[in-house]
Amino acid sequence: MGMRINRVEITNFRNISEASLEFSPGFNFITGLNAQGKTNLLEALYIFSLGRSFRTRKREELISLGEDFFFIRMAVESDKGVEYILEVGAERSGRTRVKINGEIAGGFSGLIGIIPGVIFTPRDIGMASGPPGDRRSFIDYTAAQIAGDFFGILKGYRQVLKQRNAQIKEIAVGRGRVEVMRALDSMLVERGEEVVRGRRRVLKIIRDRAAEMFRYVFKGDDYLEMKYTSSINAEGGKYSDIFSDYLLKMRDEEIRRGYTIAGPHRDDIVISIGELNLRKYGSQGRKRLVAIVMKMAQASVIYEKRGERPVIMLDDIFSELDREVSGNVREFLSERYQNFITSPEPVRVENREGTRRFFIDGGKIEVQI
């Protein structure tokens, strides 16, 4: 079963003042010059998958200039014909509105998991070459899509981490309590172990699939490798024991710095091609292509583990791919998923029934025949 977006109505979102669009279950191409609203449209659609914008955490930035609110209504349907009406809105005052089939949902996070989605934007090159947080987010989002309890586990870890950091600051000024710190240490270790266990389980699946995709796209002898690296050097032995010992050992240094130095929130994933660390030695072109492969693998894994096809959104990726690689990527996407693809110029594809094309200029969207 898969979920596809049938239509969307948008009001006052970024530079899109008003739009009502119907989509193809296959390819949907959005063209237009830069800064006209192509990425804004993808952002509006992807909110229903991520539960927030992929560009900002400040909802007021999503509201059109001079307006007091934004509102989006989406109609989606599964392959079995099950339909949903999803609604989200936010006001500058901070009030939000989220409904699923007319019923009030628990905030924007209540949308997570309803429409599995995979998005690639130029900033995702950072997955291969940027800070560790980009790679952690990639694995965490994948885990949340295929393991229903992972998001709650990660949220619990972050809550304890926040409390522990606050207690560290209290101790530094002589107001903290050692027994509270011990209790928080125990909770952090317990939840941290669950986070790492979930990440490693998902990474193994993603790593194997990404290696397959890499060979499929590039048809060469190079191989792609991904390895989870622990910030507390917990590669051998029992994780909970190593983490507990580390927190005790680093207590004075953490008090001096004012925060928790290491743990799952500081872990990384090393990506390499052959024996070369991609972050250190890869070219920009190779990093971009590996990031695309990782997204393809993510889509494939979500499809396999959930039994649902994720919606694919690609923000201007084909313009910098050579013809053979571009063709291989399109072939992978072709019949499997609903696709939303932006580009400054029209993207060529073989005649496929149901393909729809849209042109956007200054936030105004027209359907092209």
- pLDDT, tens digit, for every residue of 10-54? 999 999 999 999 999 888 999 999 999 999 999 999 998 878 888
- CA dist 278 and 274 (Å) reads 9
- At residue 189, the pLDDT reads 97
Residues 283-300: what's their mean pLDDT? Answer: 84
Residue 351 has pLDDT above 60, yes or no: no
pLDDT in tens, 48-74: 887 888 888 889 999 999 999 999 999
Q: Is the pLDDT confidence value at 1 over 50? A: no
Q: Which residue has the higher pLDDT, 361 or 288?
A: 361
For the segment 131-142, what is each residue's pLDDT rounded down to a tens digit? Answer: 999 899 999 989
146/159 Cα distance (integer angstroms): 22
Give residue-wise pLDDT tens across range 14-26: 999 999 999 998 8
Between 208 and 347, whose confidence is greater? 208
Contacts of 158 (CB under 8 A, 6+ apart): 265
Report the candidate in 334, 204, 226 with the shortest Cα–Cα distance to residue 290.
Answer: 226
> Angle formed by the axes of helices 178-218 and 284-306, to 10°?
100
For 178, the 3-state DSSP assignment is: helix
Least confident of 82-86, 286-290, 315-319: 315-319
Q: Which domains does the chain have, with CATH numbers?
A: 1-116+308-369 (3.40.50.300), 129-283 (1.20.1050.90)
Residues in the chain: 369
What does the pLDDT read at residue 116?
A: 84
Q: What is the pLDDT of residues 78-120, one digit of tens each?
A: 877 788 899 999 999 999 989 999 988 878 877 776 788 888 8
- Binned at pLDDT 50, 70 and 90, residue 207 comes out as very high
207: Cβ contacts below 8 Å, ≥ 6 apart? 225, 226
Q: What is the pLDDT of residues 151-199, one digit of tens each?
A: 899 999 999 999 999 999 999 998 888 899 999 999 999 999 999 999 9
**CA-CA distance, 213 to 224, in Å (whole number)?**
9
Q: How confident is the model at residue 212 (pLDDT cuts 50, 70, 90)?
A: confident
Note the pLDDT of residue 2.
62
